[in-house]
Amino acid sequence: MLTEKATTAPGGPSGPARGGLPWIVAAVALGLAVMLAWTAYAKIDQEWIGVAGGLGIVAVLLYAARARLRDPWITTAARAGLAVVLGWAGLAKIDEPAALQKIAVKGYDVMPDGAASVVGSALPILEIVLAALLVAGFATRVTGALSALLMVVFIVGIAQAWVRGLKIDCGCFGGGGAAANPHYLGEILRDTGFLALAAWIAAFPPGRFAVDRVLGLHED
């Protein structure tokens, strides 16, 4: 009896070829980051979009890590997505009056007036600088680590406001101050997704189109 010889793709008998998976992961990670930045800036259904988007980024990067899809294009997409997030957040805040920047930071009730003014003015500059470094791919591992630390600070700040019963707008993409119905869960999980992007960049630098490659500072 003649039998047909089974053929299998590199990704498995029934799954897609492994070579296409990094592109899918990269596209999803980038798309979710841009979507979350837009909805946060426009204040569109922040609660559940933040929950779904943040968990989505975490899930897709965990899958990539478990499947050992450490492709440079995934890091490149993570850099681009996080740069959009940080750049958008910084530019949205940098033109706001200093008094409004102070109110946004002061709402967290964790520092005196003087420190709140300094942090309110410095934060958008830091975000824009980190975004520029991510786009350039310069000092990629350090930039990813600093971005991750910044996200941890944001998550802790929002969480402590929630636990203490404060009702504030996080002010992450401009605005800030008191809020009748804060979206703490969505904001925390959204920033957890951004934290996952930063952690991936720090773990698997530098990606494509990186100054680090040109200078010979790092290779994939």
DSSP 26-37: HHHHHHHHHHHH
Give the largest Cα separation in the chain, rounded: 86
CA 143-52-147 angle, 5° bins: 10
Q: How many CB atoms lie within 10 A of CB 122?
A: 12
Residue with tokens 């070829």: 17
pLDDT digits (tens, 9 = 90+) for 62-121: 999 999 999 999 999 999 999 999 999 999 999 999 998 999 999 999 999 899 999 999
Given a contact cutoff of 8 angstroms between Cβ atoms, the answer to whether 205 and 141 are in contact is yes
The alpha carbon of residue 85 and the mean position of all alpha carbons in its chain are separated, in whole angstroms, by 6
Instruction: Return the pLDDT at 13.
Output: 37
* Element (DSSP H or E) covering residue 177: strand 177-178
Report the chain's mean pLDDT, rounded to a whole number.
90
The alpha carbon of residue 160 and the mean position of all alpha carbons in its chain are separated, in whole angstroms, by 20
pLDDT digits (tens, 9 = 90+) for 149-197: 999 999 999 999 999 999 999 999 998 888 888 999 999 999 999 999 9
The alpha carbon of residue 195 and the mean position of all alpha carbons in its chain are separated, in whole angstroms, by 5
pTM above 0.85, yes or no: yes
Q: Per the structure block, which two tokens stand in for 91?
A: 């530019």
